[in-house]
Amino acid sequence: MLEVKFYPGEGLEVNDLFQAYMTAKKYIYQSPRGKEIFDALEDNLNQKTVLHVDPTTDSTFQHQVASIKFDAYWNPIKLFKLKPKGIQSPALGLIHELGHALQCQTKLAWYEERSTGERYLEIEEDNVATNETPIAIHKNEPVRIQYRDFIGANWFTGRAFTGMSLQQKVIYSQK
Ligand SMILES: [Zn+2]
């Protein structure tokens, strides 16, 4: 199952974060792979993913060895700068983290063999290729050729974003 928790911060209340999550989910759910990921996490009754929607953190994923509970963290107001160019939306960051939950759900031994040390990159490349990129293509967002084509998670700062609503920010991307 998928449980979603909301942590107020950065001037955003629980209801704002709920709206941001619903906007991101609706956007991602329009792509076939995005629908598969959400459905697989929500329909699983044996393993639980807790999604922490927290505007003060970075989007990450954590799993404890041999656990049946996984924790994904999502910041709805940070976007992802890629190299050589492009910006992926916060919504795409959400499905990247939930993609890790699906990896744990469907191939936990495979995941745990790689979860420490250098082999961790294999987890990331698999997640980018299998989960993130098909959705990025469907949503006309820029794609990463490799996991490390990532410069950083940035706030929506600058004049271009003045007056943009939270819902617009959640699904904002640029090629
Ligand atoms: Zn990742």
The pLDDT score that the predictor gives to residue 25 is: 98
Average pLDDT over every residue of 133-162: 93
Distance (angstroms) between ligand 1 centre and the Cα of 99 equals 8
The CA distances from residue 22 to 18, 52, 113, 118, in Å, are 6, 14, 34, 35
Distance (angstroms) between ligand 1 centre and the Cα of 55 equals 18
Query: Which ranges of 30-175 would DSSP assign to H, the alpha helix?
Result: 32-43, 90-106, 108-114, 120-127, 133-138, 166-170
Average pLDDT over every residue of 150-155: 91
pLDDT > 70 fraction of the chain, expressed in percent and rounded: 100
Distance (angstroms) between ligand 1 centre and the Cα of 156 equals 21
DSSP letters spanning 88-111 = E-HHHHHHHHHHHHHHHHH-HHHH
Q: Which residues, 6+ apart, have CB-to-CB distance to 160 below 8 Å?
A: none
The pLDDT score that the predictor gives to residue 160 is: 83
Distance (angstroms) between ligand 1 centre and the Cα of 62 equals 10
Cβ atoms of 73 and 57 within 8 Å: the answer is yes
pLDDT digits (tens, 9 = 90+) for 36-66: 999 999 999 999 999 999 999 999 999 888 7
pLDDT digits (tens, 9 = 90+) for 84-114: 999 999 999 999 999 999 999 999 999 999 9
Which residues are paired to 88 by β-bridges? 80
Average pLDDT over every residue of 23-43: 98
The pLDDT score that the predictor gives to residue 159 is: 86
Distance (angstroms) between ligand 1 centre and the Cα of 162 equals 29
| pLDDT exceeds cutoff 90 at 67 | no
Domain spans of the chain, in order of start: 2-170
Provide the mean pLDDT of the chain: 95
Distance (angstroms) between ligand 1 centre and the Cα of 163 equals 31
Q: What is the pTM of this model?
A: 0.96
Average pLDDT over every residue of 158-162: 87
